[in-house]
């Protein structure tokens, strides 16, 4: 594979819309690095040794970190990792520096094997980064380590782009581009339709159970196969750990250190312009896929609004399955649709003369996604209306809003020709704003205030959230009106909970002024007011346990 002429961040073509700007500062140094790269060209991306090294590092991490229980396993990881990295490295620059880093890593491994400590493990990890920076022709100084860390995500994107290019080259050589395009034009639409149809089925428990009963033998076979696979995988957390290990392994094996200006440069070089000669081979596949999904989404939205929007549910309605798990599945469908829109409208498609027609179809599908988001909001509020508000339901509302904002951002990206970097930057900003709002707003106070008002109005199911969910002092303040609730079980249970919290605050050891909490002080002052004398009257012991048992019927 031909080496690029300058240090650019390159994302996979299915994720990116432009290359990133090279740094204009220190041009002489960059020119020297280019010359060195040209004199020592890298091996083609996807070479078997490189991929083998990544797989071996993932296996090592799984054995010694995920399943590891002590320093002996960490010692094995540090002993073997340098050899694996050297096996897969594209080039071996600065051999003496590479040797020094390897020997120092082995020294940390010996220490861990003999009588380990966490400092030796941490230094071993830093030295692995030093080994990678040495392979990139850099030094082993602290600044080089920071540069590697800052370049980690762009390096990962560039490596994935190289892998994808190598894969596409192999496919085109074997099948030919026209044959490949025709194949995808007929395969991609049904695959995507089956995926989204499966999500819609999972979002509706009654339909899911009906299908399982009709396909019992197939379901039994599928369950056995799935259980066997799951017994090997272990848990979704393990799969996430594999992804992290694989990403770090790629960064170690294919180091590409960038300046801070390059790392944070996400703007496109220029606006995309339609080129009459630029025709994407996958256009028929994308067009057919969007058409099929428009029809599928339209049919499902009719079903969703007919069955769920009236909120007239039969006895025994599965609130958790529909309004909790079902909302989660529909949110996954929304997120997947957003990713697909970003994949479809990549750089090559944005310059295709047929892009406007495809964009019009995408707008129709985006409108359907917005309607689907309204259906998710409806399901969440159905659950809130059934048995009250919780922290996680607030998180769910913020999460759906973030996904909906992602759909809007993708449409802005398509209409204005922004890069994937622009989309990524703004989507991260949206998620950060949602996290900020959850962190600074009085969520516990709002949650408990809603539940208290419902209970005082005679709607008792939200009491389960009061009895079974932890809260902070701002939540305890909101519970004070329940000492006058009509239901004696709820009233006495809340009174005992409030007096227990007051006792904890009064019996806590004296704190320095730096540990002062205004909510705690407000709670103690409010408890002492004459209108709260109910809290000082004796109640029958075990009131809180009786309250928990009573409210559990609505869990």
179 CB-side CA count, 13 A = 7
Domain assignment present for residue 196? The answer is: no
Most confidently modeled range among 56-70, 166-180, 273-287, 340-354: 56-70
Check residue 264 and give its pLDDT.
Answer: 61
Contact 259, 328 (CB under 8 A): no
Q: Which comes out higher in pLDDT, residue 93 or 20?
A: 93
Check residue 283 and give its pLDDT.
Answer: 84
Q: Which residues have C-beta within 8 Å of that of residue 431, sequence separation ≥ 6?
A: 402
Last residue of one domain, picked from the residues 441, 461, 491: 441
- Using the predicted structure, report yes or no on whether residue 276 has a pLDDT greater than 70: no
Domain co-membership, 250 together with 299: no
Return the closest-CA partner of residue 148 out of 260, 61, 45: 260
Q: pLDDT tens digits for 290-348?
A: 999 999 999 999 998 888 877 666 666 666 777 778 888 899 999 999 989 888 887 67
- Using the predicted structure, report yes or no on whether residue 178 has a pLDDT greater than 80: no
Please, which pLDDT band fits residue 8 given cuts at 50, 70 and 90?
Answer: very low
Domain co-membership, 23 together with 46: yes
Domain co-membership, 489 together with 513: yes
Please, which pLDDT band fits residue 236 given cuts at 50, 70 and 90?
Answer: confident
Concatenating the DSSP letter of every residue in 298-335 gives: HHHHHHHHHHHTT----TT--HIIIIIIHHHHHHHHHH
Check residue 383 and give its pLDDT.
Answer: 84
Domain co-membership, 258 together with 288: no
Contact 8, 20 (CB under 8 A): yes
CA distance 374 to 400: 9
Q: Which comes out higher in pLDDT, residue 479 or 319?
A: 479
User: Computed over its alpha carbons, how large is the radius of gyration of the chain?
Assistant: 29
Domain co-membership, 433 together with 447: no
> What average pLDDT does range 487-504 have in this prediction?
91
> What average pLDDT does range 467-484 have in this prediction?
92
- Using the predicted structure, report yes or no on whether residue 513 has a pLDDT greater than 90: no
For the ranges 283-297, 343-357, 536-550, the lowest mean pLDDT is seen at: 343-357
Write down the mean pLDDT value for the chain: 81
H/E/C letters for each residue in 331-377? Answer: HHHHHHHHHHHHHHCCHHHHCCCCHHHHHHHHHHHHHHHHHHHHHHH
Domain co-membership, 408 together with 335: yes
CA distance 33 to 67: 41
Check residue 29 and give its pLDDT.
Answer: 45
Domain co-membership, 258 together with 150: yes
Domain co-membership, 450 together with 437: no
Last residue of one domain, picked from the residues 382, 408, 441: 441
Q: pLDDT tens digits for 24-51?
A: 434 444 444 444 444 333 444 447 888 8
For the ranges 108-117, 239-248, 537-546, the lowest mean pLDDT is seen at: 537-546
Domain co-membership, 511 together with 540: yes
- Using the predicted structure, report yes or no on whether residue 289 has a pLDDT greater than 80: yes
Domain co-membership, 30 together with 125: yes
What's the total number of domains in the chain?
Answer: 3
Q: Where are the alpha helices (DSSP H) in 176-215?
A: 177-202, 205-214
> Which segments of 454-552 are extended strands (E)?
none
Domain assignment present for residue 228? The answer is: no
Domain assignment present for residue 185? The answer is: no
Check residue 315 and give its pLDDT.
Answer: 66
Domain assignment present for residue 194? The answer is: no
Last residue of one domain, picked from the residues 441, 472, 496: 441
Domain co-membership, 369 together with 393: yes
Contact 81, 108 (CB under 8 A): no
Domain co-membership, 43 together with 122: yes
The parent domain of residue 312 ranges over 280-441
Surface-to-core class of residue 62, CB atoms within 10 Å of its CB (0-12 exposed, 13-18 middle, 19+ buried) = middle
H/E/C letters for each residue in 70-87? Answer: CHHHHHHHHHHHHHHHHH
Q: pLDDT tens digits for 387-418?
A: 899 999 999 999 999 999 999 999 998 888 77
Check residue 215 and give its pLDDT.
Answer: 64
């Amino acid at each position: 594979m031909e080496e690029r002429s300058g240090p650019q961040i390159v994302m996979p073509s299915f994720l990116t819309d432009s290359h990133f700007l090279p740094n204009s500062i220190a041009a002489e140094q960059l020119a020297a690095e280019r010359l060195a790269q040209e004199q020592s060209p890298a091996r083609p991306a996807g070479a078997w040794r490189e991929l083998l090294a990544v797989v071996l590092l993932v296996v090592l991490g799984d054995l010694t970190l995920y399943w590891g229980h002590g320093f002996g396993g960490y010692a094995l990881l540090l002993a073997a990792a340098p050899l694996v990295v050297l096996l897969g490295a594209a080039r071996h620059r600065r051999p003496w520096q590479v040797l020094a880093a390897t020997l120092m890593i082995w020294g940390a491994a010996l220490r861990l094997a003999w009588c380990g400590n966490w400092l030796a493990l941490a230094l071993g990890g830093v030295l692995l980064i030093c080994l990678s920076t040495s392979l990139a022709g850099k030094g082993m100084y602290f600044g080089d380590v920071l540069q590697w860390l800052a370049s980690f995500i762009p390096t990962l994107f560039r490596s994935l782009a190289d892998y994808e290019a190598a894969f596409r080259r192999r496919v085109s050589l074997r099948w030919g581009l026209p044959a490949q395009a025709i194949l995808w034009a007929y395969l991609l639409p049904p695959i995507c339709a089956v995926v989204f149809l499966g999500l819609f089925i999972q979002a509706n428990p009654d339909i899911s159970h009906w299908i399982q009963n009709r396909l019992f033998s197939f379901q039994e076979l599928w369950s056995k196969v799935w259980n066997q696979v799951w017994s090997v995988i272990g848990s979704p957390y393990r799969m996430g750990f594999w992804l992290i290990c694989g990403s770090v392994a790629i960064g170690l094996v294919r180091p590409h250190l960038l300046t801070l200006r390059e790392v944070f440069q996400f703007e496109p070089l220029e606006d995309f312009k339609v080129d009459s000669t630029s025709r994407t081979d996958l256009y028929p596949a994308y067009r057919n896929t969007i058409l099929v999904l428009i029809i599928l989404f339209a049919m499902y939205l009719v079903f969703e609004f007919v069955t769920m929007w009236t909120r007239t549910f039969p006895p025994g309605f599965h609130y958790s399955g529909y309004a909790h798990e079902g909302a989660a599945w529909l949110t996954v469908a929304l997120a997947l649709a957003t990713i697909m829109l970003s994949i479809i409208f990549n750089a090559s498609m944005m310059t295709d003369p047929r892009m406007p027609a495809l964009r019009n179809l995408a707008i129709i599908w985006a409108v359907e996604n917005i309607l689907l988001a309204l259906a998710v909001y409806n399901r969440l509020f159905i659950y809130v209306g059934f048995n009250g508000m919780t922290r996680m339901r607030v998180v769910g509302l913020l999460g759906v809003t973030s996904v909906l904002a992602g759909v809007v951002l993708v449409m802005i990206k398509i209409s204005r020709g922004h890069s994937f970097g622009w989309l990524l930057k703004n989507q991260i900003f949206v998620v950060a704003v949602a996290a900020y709002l959850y962190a600074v707003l009085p969520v516990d106070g709002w949650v408990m205030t809603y539940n208290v008002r419902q209970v005082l109005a005679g709607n008792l199911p939200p009491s389960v959230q009061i009895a079974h969910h932890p809260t902070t002092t701002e939540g305890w303040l909101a519970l004070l009106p329940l000492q006058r609730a009509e239901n004696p079980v709820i009233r006495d249970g809340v009174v005992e909970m409030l007096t227990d919290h007051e006792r904890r605050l009064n019996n806590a050891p004296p704190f320095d002024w730096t540990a002062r909490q205004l909510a705690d002080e407000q709670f103690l002052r409010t408890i002492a007011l004459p209108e709260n004398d109910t809290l000082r009257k004796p109640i029958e012991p075990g009131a809180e346990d009786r309250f928990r048992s009573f409210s559990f019927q609505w869990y």
